[in-house]
Structure 1
């Protein structure tokens, strides 16, 4: 099984928040995925923190996509791994629900013979929860001090990967 570290950024720390972006990196550091959503939120829905820390880092261009495009592209990206994939997160309650949301296709009529299963066939349904002890947090802070951007979903995923390696000593 291969670990893929991921992070999300969203509009606010409220119940009805919306996804702004997602970033993933595999445990080897060789493969990344990054997306910014174009159809999930309105600027008026974005809280002060996300306005100040998240929106200024948006890249646009090829990263910008709809939720339907994200569902398709991320599924293809995950299924391209030759092994089962286990996603790793430092925030089960804020990040993991977005994986469930992304791969729940509300537009599919599951009674239809043409219905497609949107959950990637090789994706474990249980995430790895990264323990945020002092050593882990210090390793994350080192990653940011060395140039990664805080509150950028891909860089946050990279920082978590680097902290995991620093704590575990390897990627096995």
Structure 2
């Protein structure tokens, strides 16, 4: 099963980027995970873009890294025996692995499904963009993960040649 992943982080400035929030949405859309981290970053670590576009969207209920790791590991343990993250950035996947900790959860694949090739397809792009008409919080990790799922589903339907519409 794919887990659509998105993260928000302080940006690519020094010091190294720090995780602000992380979201996962299951392929079937039945389960979601969203967490904000409170102890990995400071306002001064954030780029102007993050301060302007990301921070105002946070829910404001931060967890320590230790608490977030425990919640993530439990959520993953309740997933099917084989899951793979789907995202458009190796940075997002690296943050997922770092937050999950070692040993890596046994059901989490060691690589990710790369959504980047889909970004330039019309069907994926239009579907992701249309999601933000329902939830305008672009640059909120959970909203973005939901949008990526919607785009992937539309792309998969387009590859079936319309067969899915008949089922």
Give the TM interval when normalised to the shorter protein. 0.7 to 0.9
Offset at residue 28 of structure 1 (A): 0.9
Q: Is there any run of 5+ residues in structure 2 with no aligned partner, and where?
A: 158-163
134-143 or 35-44: bigger deviation: 134-143
- Which of residues 84, 87, 91 in structure 1 aligns to 2:85? 87
What SS does the aligned partner of 2:70 have? helix
Q: What does residue range 12-161 of structure 1 map to in structure 2 within 5 Å? A: 12-14=11-13, 16-61=16-61, 64-92=62-90, 94-104=91-101, 117=103, 119-130=104-115, 131=117, 132-135=119-122, 136-161=124-149
131-140 or 73-82: bigger deviation: 131-140
What SS does the aligned partner of 1:95 have? helix
Q: Distance in 2 between matches of 1:100 and 1:83?
A: 17
Identify, as 1 or 2, the structure richer in helix.
2
- Give the match for residue 6 of structure 2: 7
* Paired residue total: 154
RCO higher in 1 or 2 (8 Å CA, sep ≥ 6)? 1
Superposed CA RMSD in Å reads 1.5
Offset at residue 148 of structure 1 (A): 4.1
CA contact (8 A) 2:54 2:139 kept: yes
Question: TM-score under structure 1 normalisation?
Answer: 0.84
Question: TM-score under structure 2 normalisation?
Answer: 0.86
CA contact (8 A) 2:4 2:87 kept: yes
4+ runs of 1 displaced by more than 4 Å? none
